[in-house]
Every structure is written in structure tokens, then in C-alpha cells.
Chains A and B, each alone.
Chain A
Amino acid sequence: MTPDLIAFIILALVAIVCAIGMLVSKNAVYSALFLILNFVTIALFYLFLGAPFLAMIQVTVYAGAIMVLFLFVIMLLGVQTLQEDATLKWQRPVAILLGAVLFLETAYIFFARSEQTSTAVTEFRALLASAGNPESAGLMLFNQYLLPFEVTSVLLLVAMIGAIVLTKKEEA
């Protein structure tokens, strides 16, 4: 047990418990707060994985901006607690069963078939020996991925206009 592994296991437990907390909380505000904690643990995982730039983005954009928007809407609409009596009684057990099947399938695809790709992995590693952080991320973003980056700005503009148009009060 290396210190890294111990830290990983503790953080993973926090992340999973937060996800469960989000699912079972009756109050939507608690769900949002659990989700924020989950996002912060994921930001810490990004730090472990050598991606400090993404960790900061995760905290500012996800845990900050996006979740504040969620909390705003929850409190604005006053829908903290919602009477959740399921119309379809069998939906919950079936959902959990299907979730388990999904997890097993994912596990199978990732782990049962991973042996075949080991040579490709080493070749790929030799090809891309330099991975760094904000600097190399920025270089890649503004060279190889310049067009997607610009398209992203258009997407954000469209989303902004869309949100304004959708929430605008209709004139009677």
C-alpha cells in the first residue's frame, strides 16, 4: 500500500458516497451540495493524474459556476422537496438491475479485453513522450485544436442567447 493508493481509496470512497448521497437525498439542495463535493474529489483526482489545469477548471467552472446555477434555479423555483411517488412501481428495481448490468458490461469491456492492446500502448507512449500542463495544453489547444476551440465560443454564444430567449417573459 503506497501513500498514493491509500489517498486514492479514501478519495474514491468519498466520491462514491457523495454520488449515493446525491441519488437518495430527498432535498434537491442537499443533492446539489453532495454533487459539489463529488466534483471537488474529481478535481483532486485530476491533480493526481498530472492535470492541474483541468483540476482548477473543474473547481471554477463545475463546482463554481455550474453548480451555483443549479442552486439558483432550485431556490428560485422553490422545488427543494418534490413528492416523488413513482407512477411505475417496478421502475426502481428494474433501474437498479439495469445499472448493475451497465456496470458489469463496462467492467468487461475495459478489463477483460485490455490485454490485446498492450503493444499499441507502448508504441503510442513512445510517440507521445511529452505531456505537460498549462503550457503544453495551451499549445495544443491553439494549434491542433484551434478550430474546435473557436467553434466552442460560438456554442457558448448560442447557449447564452438560447437561455435568454427561453426565460424571457412572453408579452401578453
Chain B
Amino acid sequence: MVPVSYYVALAAILFTMGAIGVLIRRNSIVIFMSIELMLNAANLAFVAFAQAYDAINGQIFVFFVITVAAAEVAVGLALIVAIFRTRQSINVDEINELRG
């Protein structure tokens, strides 16, 4: 039985890496993937605590987070495609105005 604190530490490491990825990368698709990594780290913490507290609510919440992530990815990637069509670039430094 692995202590919950190990899982939480791993989740913290993965979340931090996702945050660093958002800050250092310029490719908006990779930034998006870093956000997914952060969501997953949060999910891992949820499931770890669900097991620690013997409560299934944490798992249900992860279910909802995954659904929201799926919706978010669909809309986000559609936005990236639309931006690429008008700007011919997905570098976040070049996308600095809302008007196309």
C-alpha cells in the first residue's frame, strides 16, 4: 500500500511541470497539452484522496473533470484552427490581438 502522500507529491510535480510548460513554450498546441497535464495531475490527487478517505465522490468528480476537459479540448482546438486560418501561425507571441 503506497502512502497517499506519495501520490500527492507526484501530482504536485506533474502540476508544476504543466505550469512551467505553459510559461516556457510558445507553441499554443503544446501549451494546451500542458494544461491537460495539469488537469491530470489534479485528477490524480482527487483519486488518491478518494482512496485515502474511502469516499467515491472524488472519483465522480474526476469523471466530470474528464468530461469538461473533452469539451474544452474540442472548443480550444477549434479556436486554434480558426486562428491558424487567419494568422497562419500558432505562436502565442504573434497572436497578441483579438481581431483577426
Q: What is the interface of chain A, defined by CB distance below 8 A to chain B?
A: 2, 4-5, 8, 12, 15-16, 19-20, 22-23, 28, 31-32, 35, 38-39, 42, 45-46, 48-51, 53-54, 57-58, 61-62, 65-66, 69-70, 73-74, 76-77, 79, 82-84, 86-87, 91-92, 94-96, 98-100, 102-103, 106-107, 110-111, 114, 121, 124-125, 128-132, 136-137, 140-141, 145, 148, 152, 155-156, 158-160, 162-164, 166-167
**Which of chain A's residues have a CB closer than 8 A to the CB of B95?**
none
Contact call B56/A131, Cβ cutoff below 8 A: yes
> Cα distance A19–B14 when bound, in Å?
7
Contact call A66/B40, Cβ cutoff below 8 A: no
**Which of chain A's residues have a CB closer than 8 A to the CB of B48?**
49
> Majority SS of interface residues in chain B?
helix
Closest to B39 in A: A62
Q: What is the interface of chain B, defined by CB distance below 8 A to chain A?
A: 1-2, 5-10, 12-21, 23-27, 29-30, 32-34, 36-37, 40, 43-44, 47-48, 50-57, 59-60, 62-64, 66-75, 77-82, 84, 90-91, 93
**Which of chain B's residues have a CB closer than 8 A to the CB of A2?**
1
**Which of chain A's residues have a CB closer than 8 A to the CB of B34?**
22-23
The verdict on A38 contacting B24 (CB below 8 Å), with A79-B29, A152-B64 known, is no
